[in-house]
Amino acid sequence: MTDTARRTTIGNLPFTAVVGALWMVVISAPRLISIGPITLSGALTILVAVLSVASLPMYLIGTIERRSKTGIYESARTRIPWPLWGFLLVITLNFLYVASSGQLDVDSIQNMCVYFSFVAAIAFSAMSRSSAVVDRGWQLFRTLGTFAAYLCLFMEITGLPLLGSRPMAIVGLIVLAIVVPGKPENGWVLLAPFAMVGALALSLSRTGTIIGLVFLGFIVLRGRRGKRLVRGLVLVFLAGGVLWWMFNYYQPFRDRFLEGDQALQIGGLSISTQGRATFWELLLGNIGDGWFFGNGLGSAARLITTYIPSQSHPHNDYLRFYFEFGLLGVGLFIVGYLMLILRVWKNARVSDHSVHWAALISLLAVGFVAITDNPFVYPFVMLPVGALSGFSLARARLEASEGITIPTVRRAVDA
């Protein structure tokens, strides 16, 4: 690619993808800088959301224009699932209701901004007009993801609190999703997955370490398709062995499970939920009449803070959605999220491009982490995931226009 073409391609990357890739590296560091009543992180979150909402009409116009020029109506696997748009409508109405009652706070506004930015990041990346733009975006994430893997490991070894161990453990799974698939271009990329898993283990994040070790099995994507299943199963069993060793012989990691409230009983073993069970019981016990339409944006954090002043997160984003947006809101989000996973999975089966696999792994990782944590309100998590998912949808659309299907790929592999 010539320098002129490279500059043009970089200029065509959506701002949500560029911001998401950079934010993936610095993680929570912008929170250390205050700008008036909010942090730099909060200001960037609101700014990205405002720009995203203002640019959404461009997405609609661009989609209509593209269809009119090509005469091709995009298939289901290249479009954003409609329930995600429905989710945005629900939280918009919810926002207006809470605003009218005077209960809005800065954290709630920031959370809503992340929800909008996530869907917008998918939309803008999905608008990519050429494979060159998608590949350039993928290369940006690949380069920064490799750097982030070693940076996280360095931060955990040195004990520097700049990135924040808990946010780093969540972002680390996104980084892992990026550096695992695809043929390594150099030794740094080759070893990056192991550096990232090492950082996750040193962070003592139970969920992050377990998911990271299991998802390391996706490293089989670097090889040919035929033997991936067998090698993947071998790696998963090896990951299980490493987890068994860590639980039995690595005392700090073992203590994360056994010290604390011991609210979860599994096979006669008392597992600590680190206070999460208290938050979950509190929210479920106070859902009241909001079970269908919700109790309002930010209501989960306000309830928790009322009873436990030092805490505000429910440590389960699905439960947060259920409490704040009701069965309607959480239902739309879960259905839309699962549809997105299914579409990206189909895209990966068709062309085996690394961006499809990275989007799939990151969506699965964040979906699992949301059971015990709050990734859906972190812009440094949802912007990268949204951008990767959008690039997958764009790549699938461009591949379909070139006649790439499962049968043609299989014939090419056989040849």
User: What are the pLDDT digits (tens) for 64-86?
Assistant: 666 666 555 566 667 899 999 99
> Which pLDDT score is estimated for 399?
86
CA distance 315 to 369: 9
Q: Is 337 exposed, middle or buried (0-12, 13-18, 19+ CB in 10 A)?
A: buried
Which of 366, 382, 355 lies closest to 21 in space, CA to CA? 382
For residue 415, the Cα-to-chain-centroid distance in whole angstroms is 36
In-domain check, residue 304? no
Contacts of 249 (CB under 8 A, 6+ apart): none
Poorest-pLDDT segment among 100-109, 200-209, 406-415 = 406-415
In-domain check, residue 333? yes
Give the count of domains, the chain: 1
Residue % of the chain over a pLDDT of 90 = 47
Mean pLDDT of the chain: 83
In-domain check, residue 407? yes
In-domain check, residue 266? no
Name residue 270's beta-bridge partners.
265
Q: Which residue has the tokens 């998608």?
A: 134
Q: Which domain holds residue 169?
A: 13-233+326-414
Q: Where do the H-state alpha helices sit in 27-39?
A: none
Collapsing DSSP states into helix, strand and coil, what is residue 266?
Answer: strand
First to last CA, the chain: 28
**Residue type (1 letter), 168:** M
In-domain check, residue 138? yes
pTM, two decimal places: 0.86
In-domain check, residue 283? no
Q: Where do the H-state alpha helices sit in 71-186?
A: 82-100, 106-126, 131-158, 165-179
In-domain check, residue 330? yes
CA distance 369 to 255: 20
Tell me the average pLDDT across 170-197. 90
The residue with greater pLDDT, 159 or 270, is 159
**Residue type (1 letter), 90:** V
> Which pLDDT score is estimated for 235?
66
Tell me the pLDDT band of 329, cut-offs 50, 70 and 90. very high
Span 353-392, pLDDT tens digits: 999 999 999 999 999 999 989 999 999 999 999 999 999 9
CA distance 89 to 115: 11
Region of 14 on the Ramachandran plot (φ > 0 left; ψ -120 to 50 alpha; else beta): beta
CA distance 254 to 365: 22
Which of 148, 110, 129, 142 lies closest to 25 in space, CA to CA? 148
Span 122-174, pLDDT tens digits: 999 998 888 899 999 999 999 999 999 999 999 988 887 777 778 898 999 99
SS (H, E, C) 278-331: HHHHHHHCCCHHHHCCCCCCCHHHHHHHHHCCCCCCCCCHHHHHHHHHHHHHHH
In-domain check, residue 307? no
